[in-house]
Structure formats: C-alpha cells, structure tokens
Amino acid sequence: MKRPENDKWLDDALAETIGSKKTEPNFEKWKQGHPQAVEMLTARAARGPSASKSPHSIRIMIMKSPITKLAVAAVIIVAVVLSISVFDKSIGTAYAIEQTIEANRGLRFIHLKYEPAGTGVEEIWAQFDDNGKLLHLRMNFPNTMDGPKDVVWQEGKAEVWFKAKKGIAVLREKNILAQLKMSYKSFDPRLIGEQLYHVQADEKKQIEIQQSRSKNESITITWTRNGFRTVYKVDPETKLLQQFEKYQLKDGEYKFLGRTRYLDYNQPVNSEIFVLNPPAEVVRADQTTQEVGMAKGELSEEEIAVEMARQFLEALIDQDYAKAGKLIANVPAEWVKQQPFGKTKYIRIVSIGKPVPYTNTGSLRVPCKVEIEEKDGKITVQSIAPCIREVYGQPERRQIIDVF
Amino acid sequence: MEPDSETKLVEAAQNGHLESFAALYERYHSSMVALAYSMLADRDLAEDAAQDVFAIACRDIGSLKSKERFAAWLAGICRNVSRQMLRANKGKPVALGDNPAAQKRDDMEDRREAIRRALWSLREPERELIIMRYFNGFSQGQISEVLDISPQAVNGRLVRAKRKIAKYLKRNGLTGNDYETS
C-alpha cells in the first residue's frame, strides 16, 4: 500500500468530513456564564502570589513530627464536627452528595433492574474486589436483535448465551468487552455519585436536593439538563442510591423513559450468578481458543461474503453439516441439523445476490435463492440469506452470524 | 507560545490572575472542542463540553502541580467531561450511521458516511489524533502538547491511523479513484 501521507485524496476526504467551521473562543461570554468558577479563581489572588505553593511545603515540614500529626488529626476531626453542625444550622440540611460517594466506597456487590424492558439491558449483577475493581459482571438482555441473551464478563473474557439460537460464544474481543463495561457504567452507582458531585459543583447546572423528613422518606436529587430530567432517590440511612428515573421533555411535559432500581447491595454473593448454566442442547463456541469461520485472505468484504454464502449453501446441499457448522462459529453438525436450514433438503443454488449491509450489526447479508424439495416431493424455490461478519478477536476471519 | 511563557500564564492563573486564564482559554478552547468532538461526534455537545472543561479548570487549577503540562491536564478533564456526557446521554457517538434521516442520501454522503465509519472503527487515541489534525487543522506541535506525546510520535501515529482508515475504506470499496471522480 502507498504511504497514506501521499494519498492526497484521503487528506481531502478527511478534511471535508471532519473539517468544521472555526471555533470562536469568547472568553467574555464564558466568564458571564461561569461567575462562580471565575470567583473561585480570582479569590486565589487574595491569598497572595504563592498561595498554591507555600502552604504545601510548610505542611510537609510540620507533618514530619508524629506528635504534630496527632495534633493535626485531632484538629481536623474537631473542624469536621464543627463544620457539620454549622452546615446543619445554616442551611438546615444533613445530606450531601459526598456522603453517597463515601458510602459507595464500601460496595462489593450490586444487583439492579431496569424497567421497562426494552432492547437494552434489563438486569445486572456486579462484584468488585476490595479496591473497588470490577471482578465479575452479568448482564441480561431480554430482547435484542439476536433474541434474548445473557452475558457474563470476567477476567477479560465474555461469554454470551444466545438463548434463541441455543448457543454460547466465548469472546475476548476488546471492543465488545469495552462496550459491555461502558454499558454497565451507565448504571454504576459509584460513577453516578461522582457525576452528581461534579454537576452540583457547577452552578450553571440545574440540580436540586430535597432532604428526607423521616427515616422512611428517601432523599430526592433532581438533575434537569438539555430536555432531560433524572430523579435519583437516596436511602436516608445508608446514603446509597435506591433508584433513578429518567424523563424527557416532550410537548411541555417530562415523559417517563425508564427506571433503574438497585435491589441488593453487598449481599452474600452467589457465585452461580456469574456462571452460565445452559441446558445440554446449547452448544458452546470458544472463539478465544479456536479459529472460527473462514480466512478472508485477499478478498474484499463483499467477495468473502458471497464466497461464504456459496460454501454454506453447498455444504447444506451436500448435507455436510460439519462444514456448515464450521462456517457459522465452529458449531457442531448436530446443532446445525436442529436449525430450520438443517432440516431442509436443498437441491441446488439458483442465485447468489449482491451483499447488502444488515442493519447496524456490521454484517453483510447475502440474498440467495435455492431450490428445495418439499416433504411431498415438490420442488420449489426458497429465499435464504446468510449474514457474514468479522469474527470478534480474529480480524482476518469471517463467520456466518445468522441465516434468514 | 513559548513553553516558558505558558508556564508563567498557568502560574499567574493559579495565583488568581484572570487575564492569564483568559489567554489559556483562548489558546486551548478550539483544541478542547476538537478533542470532545472526537468522543461525542456532535459539534454542539463538544462546544458544551469545552465550556465545562474550562469551568472545572478554573475551579481546580490550583491542584495542577506540573505547570508545563497544562494542556495535557486540560485534555484529561476534557475526556472525563465527554465520558460523563456520553453516559448522561446513555448512548454511543451519533456518527456511526444510525441516523434514520441518512437513509436517503447521495454518493457524496455515502462516501462521508464511510469515512465516518472508518473513523469510529479506530481506537480512541487514534481517533483523537485524526480529528485534532483535520477538525481545525492543528499543527503537530499543538497536537503534541494536548495529547502529551512527542511531535515525532504524533507524526508516526497519524500515518498509522490514516493507513488504517485507507485500509478500512478499501475493504469497503472506497479508494482514491472513487473520491476523485466525485
């Protein structure tokens, strides 16, 4: 391949696609929109030119003495107690988002549910180590394009159970793992606590805290932004997030979008939850240890898709279900025989059409026509469309991910 | 700007000198918009993110110890703010071609879509580089400061990222010839 820096067309194409109208920094406007931040900065001037430096070095010198350390610790405790009581008296509140952040530090296990069930995740279990690092994650998706699927993540590996297809794929593909973790992060109460803390610090953002009036009443935090509103409920005793609801502004009203409820915190972990226990007929394709599908070689995406569709149909015609299974994801012949296309008697290929992108799965769908023999011996023409995509973690190979 | 003078600006801002902070804002606003755009894929959201970045920087500048790494520090804030915005919007960047309005489009738009897809197939650090280079035409020196890598590394990584884009486009049937005939 030519070195791309010589490819002027690529420079032009990128500049045209990404290139944007010049940004116009306007500090005066920014300043007007952020008076509190500006005030915090200018207040530093009042502390003198070395405000950011000297106290630090002085503190280091003083803190070298153990007695001083104890004395300072005692003073800090007194100051914190005093500041809490002053805080209480001045604004009549007991709760601050920092308390939720602090409570979240002790989280080792969470279990949550999202409703209403849509195409996304419905239920999540997550376990953390003593440093708060994610150890195990399970996410159940009841309604995806692949049908219902349960995903378990641990040790840099994901196991995906495609329930309708009766198959489990074991993956180590970085993008998929990153997507899983990213998807989980939207629900992570620890990140939500930090986000609320930062949002609250920016006075431009609209955030309201309604204190609880009794032990049975939750603390309510409402964040309104860009036509969306999120209402968080916090347990007044534990300070942990109980649930949050999202709303979208439509026709002058905030309409309910969905609710996430935290069902369990730090309950004894049933390790079975992070293990997929499928029925015996479910096949398992470990893509971390096996080569899957077919090597792409020098073929274009369209060419390899057509070639794989042809080989798949030929394998079905020859009743070579082991070969057909290998093109799918190294699934066994027995599994192929259980599928609708494994139970059909194929006679010959009539046509193989031009591949077309299949929705947003990143796959190419190859529309084909085949002659089949019906049960009564009648010969008819049937449409069949294998979908072909890159094998996760094996970028040089392609596999059939679905057959329509 | 000379590194030394920038360090002085940062130090002055840390001591509450608003005009110095204004100079830093003017200098880095565009690059923060570009960096946020590389994650958010939306110009308006990226502008919002950049505003938030400077609000946080204004508030926390006292905590910055390595004054000579102001741009990299700012970029770190920018990535955090953008990630938070992504989480708040609970979605992926919009540039992945999931816009239903994009179904009816001409060849030119198809080609742009292919390039957008190629961009979003890159790893985040590579996409940051490419977008900073082409968003507002930042120099290697400017990119190097913000992304905290050497100008030589900027050059090498740009070449590799462009190579990946060209390969992706070729796999999807788009070459220089197609582009020139448009």
Read off the pLDDT of residues A10-65 as tens digits, 9 standing for 90 and up: 888 888 888 766 778 889 888 888 887 888 788 777 665 544 433 333 233 334 44
DSSP for A151-195, written as a single string: EEEETTEEEEEETTTTEEEEE--HHHHHHHHHHHHTT-HHHHHHH
Cα–Cα distance measured from residue A17 to residue B97, given in angstroms and rounded to the nearest whole number: 13
Q: Strand, coil or helix: what is A110?
A: strand
Q: Are strands A294-295 and A283-286 parallel, antiparallel or unpaired?
A: unpaired
Question: What is the residue-averaged pLDDT of chain B?
Answer: 82
pLDDT of residue B176: 67
Q: Kindly list the domain boundaries of chain B, sorted by start residue.
A: 3-88, 97-180
Dump pLDDT digits (tens) for A177-209.
777 777 777 888 988 988 888 887 776 667 888
Q: What is the CA radius of gyration of chain B?
A: 18
Q: State yes or no: pLDDT of B40 exceeds 80.
A: yes
- Tell me how close the Cα of A30 comes to any Cα of chain B, in angstroms: 7
Per CB-CB distance under 8 Å, the chain A contacts of B169 are 10
Lowest mean pLDDT among A262-266, B79-83, B178-182: B178-182
Q: State yes or no: pLDDT of B49 exceeds 60.
A: yes
> SS3 string of A209-245?
EECCCCCCCCEEEEEEECCEEEEEEECCCCCCEEEEE
Q: State yes or no: pLDDT of B153 exceeds 60.
A: yes
**Mean pLDDT, residues B52-61:** 89
Residues in chain A: 404
How confident is residue B4, by pLDDT bands cut at 50, 70 and 90? Answer: low
Share of chain B above pLDDT 90, in %: 34
Dump pLDDT digits (tens) for B67-124.
888 999 999 999 988 888 887 765 444 443 333 334 444 667 777 888 888 888 899 8
E strands of chain B, at which residues?
none
**Mean pLDDT, residues A234-253:** 90
Q: State yes or no: pLDDT of B10 exceeds 90.
A: yes
pLDDT of residue A16: 80
Put simply, the answer to whether A4 touches B84 (Cβ < 8 Å) is: no
Domain A291-403: which CATH number of 3.10.450, 2.60.40, 3.40.50, 1.10.150: 3.10.450
Cα–Cα distance measured from residue A261 to residue A111, given in angstroms and rounded to the nearest whole number: 9
Contacts A–B by Cβ distance under 8 A: 147
Q: Strand, coil or helix: what is B15?
A: coil
Q: Say yes or no: B102 contacts chain A, CB-CB below 8 A.
A: no
The third-level CATH classification (topology) of the domain covering B3-88 is Rna Polymerase Sigma Factor; Chain: A (1.10.1740)
pLDDT of residue A64: 41
Q: Say yes or no: B16 contacts chain A, CB-CB below 8 A.
A: yes
pLDDT of residue A81: 38
- Tell me how close the Cα of A199 comes to any Cα of chain B, in angstroms: 10
Dump pLDDT digits (tens) for A266-277.
887 777 888 888
Q: How far is CA A375 from CA A337, A346, A370, A379, in A?
A: 16, 12, 16, 9
pLDDT of residue A2: 43
pLDDT of residue B28: 93
pLDDT of residue B90: 52
Bridge partners of residue A260, in order along the sequence:
A114, A244
Put simply, the answer to whether B54 touches A13 (Cβ < 8 Å) is: no
Dump pLDDT digits (tens) for A75-96.
334 333 333 333 333 333 468 8
Tokens of A403: 């057959």
Q: Which CATH number does B97-180 carry?
A: 1.10.10.10
In the 8-state DSSP scheme, what is residue A256? E
- Residue B178 φ then ψ, to 5°: -60, -40
- Residue A268 φ then ψ, to 5°: -55, 130
Chain B, residues 38-77, CB within 8 A of chain A, namely 43, 47, 50-52, 54-56, 58-59, 61-62
How confident is residue A262, by pLDDT bands cut at 50, 70 and 90? Answer: very high
**Mean pLDDT, residues B113-136:** 88
Per CB-CB distance under 8 Å, the chain A contacts of B33 are 23
Residues A97 and A221 sit within 8 Å (Cβ to Cβ): yes
Lowest mean pLDDT among A49-53, A262-266, A299-303, B154-158: A49-53
pLDDT of residue A206: 78
Q: Say yes or no: B176 contacts chain A, CB-CB below 8 A.
A: yes
Q: Kindly list the domain boundaries of chain A, sorted by start residue.
A: 199-262, 291-403
- Tell me how close the Cα of B97 comes to any Cα of chain A, in angstroms: 8
Q: Which residue of A has its CA nearest to B13?
A: A41
Dump pLDDT digits (tens) for A152-166.
988 778 888 888 778
Per CB-CB distance under 8 Å, the chain A contacts of B50 are 23
Cα–Cα distance measured from residue B117 to residue B131, given in angstroms and rounded to the nearest whole number: 13
Q: Which residue of B has its CA nearest to A202?
A: B55
